Amino acid sequence: MMTIRVLKDKTAGGIMFFLTLSSMLLVVIMGIGLFLKSAPVFEEHSLGELLFSSSWKPMRGEFGFLPFIMGTIWVTVIAVVMAVPVSLLTAIYLTEYARPVVRKYVFPALDILAGLPSVIYGVWGTLLIVPFISGWLAPRFVDFSTGYTMLAGGIVLGVMILPLLVSLFIELITSVPEELREASISLGATRWQTTKAVVVRAVLPGLVAAVVLAVSRALGETIAVLMVCGNLPEIPGSLFDACYPIPALIANNYGEMLSLPLYEAALMFAALILFIVVLLFNLVSRVVLYRIEKTFS
Amino acid sequence: MKHFFQALSLPVKSRAYPFNAPDGKVANLFRPDRKFHRDEEESELVVRDLNVYIKEQHILKEINLAIPDKKITCIVGPSGCGKSTLLKTFNRLIDSVEGARVSGKVLLNGTDIVSSSGPEIIHLRREMGLISQKPCPLPMSIFDNIAYGCRIHGIRNRKKLRLVVRHYLEAAGLWEEVQDRLNTPAIRLSIGQQQRLCLARSLAVEPRFILADEATSALDPISSKTIEELFVKLKQNYSIVMVTHTLRQALRIADNVIFMYLGEVIESGPAERVFNRPEHKLTRKYLSGVFS
Ligand SMILES: Nc1ncnc2c1ncn2[C@@H]1O[C@H](COP(=O)(O)OP(=O)(O)OP(=O)(O)O)[C@@H](O)[C@H]1O
Ligand SMILES: [Mg+2]
């Protein structure tokens, strides 16, 4: 009996270790694969040229990725800057202020929003946000804009990650023990003071982790952004210029024009950049998280 | 009491916040809105026909009490009889219990606590310093835990905050242990230390009433004694209501005793009488240790 139990335990442990290892290996293999596939483009161009040149002329063999890198970063930044405060306040309202009835109806709605396929957000952006920008918002700031802009991409992306963020935040905030709130309230704190100084502070590491998750999602989002942001390979000069994030570049062009020399390798390089950006971002946020946890617990 | 304040009176020469009143009476550290001779103010707490229901369960039944000022009142009774609920009613923390309904009156200097609303409640909670049964440090440093109460009430002066923190940590007998790690997170303290921290934190908002719910349950006999001595000193200036399961403790420090059983006040009165000549047979049973 004893030996069988021990054996089972060991096998289970072994299998789980193997599965964990292979999923980690998968990441490494993907990285190596992308690198090998994009190698030809390195042979012709230096890394500096690829990353910092803004001239994208595949026909002439010029592959400058700067516009795409900037497009990706900007769209993500706009989305996160808009979505984080809104979703944090929404989550706080729902958990700390709203009556249970409100929660009962809003929570399922959030789940539905979080589950909608991204193409629907794209359509919604094309039908609503793009005309809004071209017809109303942009004329107040610039002479002309098609509406298919970096701003539209940011807004659509922000709206997309909003439900995800709200649910994650709600999960975190409801995990704060009631006693903590009571302790603060007993000292004569208002609810807002309690929320700000106690509740949010208690879950700060979690909040950061949630934002990291949302950013990773935003960095890789393809379809919805591709539909609204114009897709011009130029460095965007303002919110009302078109931009061309990396995922959109790959999705739009892969499978076409592959007869051009080096074009496939260049697209693979784009994928590699995205891969590394997401990886680096996650690593950096781990460090940040570790720092925060160290100071708070 | 005096030695707590001596250390503090040195660095502060300002006349705005006299830490020692001329006759040696303790002044408030940071509440200029209060007079420091508090003898004139009798803050008696009177409970009339108080009933509390939680989700249609009758938790407190027809409570009638008078809790005198500047005395230690001990509430004793078996587990689950409603002691914590009673204290929560006193500072309106009962509001955050889901499904709670309160009827009757709790009068503090003639003002009804049960029917007060809005900003009055905030003010009230500050006057009725509740120290909860389970020590619960806020997710911040030891220093910030104590300073929190002052900060939320608008005191930001670093120097003054440092004085307040030191003073109340000393009062709770924690200063020696934590003085070199005031900036480390308070969650790392031991449970007993956390309990003293919570006591210091409650004292730091300078309440009139101290409602201590088993404030010494996690402490060793010596630290308990320190807290008991502190309470005895504090009763010159505060009214103290404490829940305890240690009858010896009640015997040592209580001026008044309230015995509760299944949501009712069975007997209340001066400690000496309740302990020596209990009138009710449930009280006699409890005191002789029939139920814990
Ligand atoms: N939030 C709540 N929901 C439902 N019932 C509650 C709630 N809080 C307290 N009660 C009930 O009220 C009664 C009194 O609880 P209370 O915590 O006041 O007891 P207590 O005298 O403090 O006990 P102890 O000595 O164990 O701390 C108990 O029967 C308890 O189950
Ligand atoms: Mg209790």
Amino acid letter at B220? D
**Residue bearing the CA closest to ligand 1, atom 5:** B54
The answer as to whether A134 is a domain residue is yes
In the numeric block, the tokens 């929190």 are attached to: B148
Q: Please tell me the total count of domains within chain A.
A: 1
The answer as to whether A46 is a domain residue is no
Question: A70 lies in which domain range?
Answer: 51-296
The answer as to whether A40 is a domain residue is no
B239 lines ligand 1 (CB under 6 A): no
Give B 192-231 residues with CB within 8 A of chain A. Answer: 198, 201-202, 205
B82 lines ligand 1 (CB under 6 A): yes
Mean pLDDT (chain B) is 83
What is the rounded CA–CA span in Å between residue B9 and residue B27? 11
pLDDT (mean) for A169-193: 92
The answer as to whether A18 is a domain residue is no
The answer as to whether A35 is a domain residue is no
Across the interface, whether the CB atoms of B185 and A295 are under 8 A apart is answered yes
- Could you say which of B134, B139, B198 has the minimum Cβ distance to residue A296? B139
B263 contacts B239 by C-beta, under 8 angstroms: no
The structural domains of chain B, ordered by start, are 2-287 (3.40.50.300)
CATH number where A244 lies: 1.10.3720.10
Phi, psi of B213 (to 5 degrees): -95, 100
Chain A nearest-CA residue for B88: A186
- The residue whose CB lies within 8 Å of the most ligand 1 atoms, and thus the one to mutate among B51, B84, B86, is B84
From ligand 2's centre to the CA of B77, what distance in Å?
A: 10
Note the pTM of the prediction, 2 decimals: 0.83
Q: DSSP for A38-77?
A: HHHHHHHS-HHHHHH---EEGGGTEE--HHHHHHHHHHHH
B195 contacts B119 by C-beta, under 8 angstroms: no
pLDDT at B6 over 80: no
pLDDT at B264 over 90: yes
From ligand 2's centre to the CA of A46, what distance in Å?
A: 71
3-class secondary structure, B47: strand
Q: What is the pLDDT of residues B126-182, one digit of tens each?
A: 889 999 888 999 999 999 999 999 999 888 888 889 988 999 998 888 999 999 999
The answer as to whether A171 is a domain residue is yes
Q: What is the pLDDT of residues B40-76, one digit of tens each?
A: 456 688 999 999 999 989 999 999 999 988 899 999 9
Chain B nearest-CA residue for A186: B125
Q: What is the pLDDT of residues B178-232, one digit of tens each?
A: 999 999 999 999 988 999 999 999 999 888 899 999 988 888 888 888 889 889 9
What is the rounded CA–CA span in Å between residue B221 and residue B242? 17
